[in-house]
Amino acid sequence: MATIKHVALHAGVSVTTVSHVVNTTRHVSKAVSDRVDLAIRELGYVPSAVARSLKSNSTRTLGMLIPNSSNPYFAEIVRAVEDRCFAAGYTLILCNTDDAPQRQSVYLKVLAERRIDGLIVVSTGDDEALVAQLHGLKMPAVLLDREIDDPGCDLVETAHKEGALLAVRHLIALGHTQIACIAGPAHVSAGEQRVEGWREALAGAGLATGRSPMRGGFTSQGGYEAMQSILQAAGRNRPTAVFVCNDLMAIGALRAAHEAGVHVPDALSVVGFDDIELSAYTCPPLTTVAQPKERIGALAVDMLLERLRGLRLETSKVMLQPELRVRSSTARCPDLLPTKTAKP
């Protein structure tokens, strides 16, 4: 592998001159610079990013931790982050914590040792050590989607409770009074805010709020199993609508309803949350609460760059507003539809 010494020898200049050309740290005549550039191309020399970072105190690299790389919601966020990084001349290192606090802690240490310039974190939601680690960082950090107590860093998230209110009020407007909820793990703040919105919407309409949410794992399998349990309910407690706290679980719930012979939306309305790309292609297409994923990812990068460039010292919290996407998985409550009379 070619070294800077090989380039200097090939170009007939000093190692210091090659360094100045590579790092643009001092003016070098065009003739000499052209000779160095030609030597670099002919020898295939690749400057050491580590060495350059030690001199500039910047690697132009950002790190990102996400809890589940198989969830399309996070994949769509990552794409927005990566696009913004690339446009700004930064590289992104991505780590999947698999919703495991210990793995999250290890990856955070690894990224810090890699001398990244800034960090974007979607927390597992169940890691007390994360707060201490974030406070101990020597780089700016941004939290996405999930709040934690006293993080000491920037935060970008959607108003989760308001999104749930939109979803459940939509179902109430369609005449539904028995509205179940399929929720994620109780330790995830975003999910609990959505459950809170479900309860608040029911209470605001004077409907019973004693029903407990069915818990899943923010996965299609979790939604599938939770919907199976809901459909086993009989009599007056059987819901005519279900608010599901993310789209992956809603996709599993749609399959469970189909296998049970419960037609969506004629017999059961279903609303999801996130508006992942797949939600428009389910059968039927899923009514859902849309999070502004592209803006979330872009804002996270922009907030880091503000801190890195010294444009802002204090931490900032940005709350984005969700929107309801009405598709074909919701309809009027079947109890309110006119009864067909038999022809004589």
pLDDT band at 52 (very low <50, low <70, confident <90, very high): low
Q: What is the mean predicted confidence (pLDDT) over 212-238? A: 88
Q: What is the mean predicted confidence (pLDDT) over 280-295? A: 97
Amino acid at the residue 138: K
Interatomic CA distance for residues 270 and 220, integer angstroms: 14
Domains of the chain plus CATH, in order, are 4-47 (no CATH), 61-157+293-321 (3.40.50.2300), 160-290+325-334 (3.40.50.2300)
Structure tokens belonging to residue 27: 């003016």
SS3 state at 318 = strand
Interatomic CA distance for residues 280 and 97, integer angstroms: 28
For 164-175, give the DSSP string. HHHHHHHHHHTT
Supply the mean pLDDT for the chain. 90
β-strand partners of 287 = 271
Q: Determine the length of the chain.
A: 344
- Name which of 266, 15, 303, 36 is nearest 154 in CA terms: 303
Q: What is the mean predicted confidence (pLDDT) over 156-182? A: 97
- Is the confidence at residue 344, as pLDDT, over 60? no
Report the percentage of the chain scoring pLDDT > 90.
Answer: 67
Q: What is the mean predicted confidence (pLDDT) over 197-208? A: 96
Interatomic CA distance for residues 215 and 209, integer angstroms: 16
Phi, psi at residue 91, to the nearest 5°?
-105, 145
SS3 state at 182 = strand
Determine what percent of the chain falls in helix, strand and coil, rounding each to the nearest 5.
Answer: 45, 15, 40
Global pTM exceeds 0.85: no
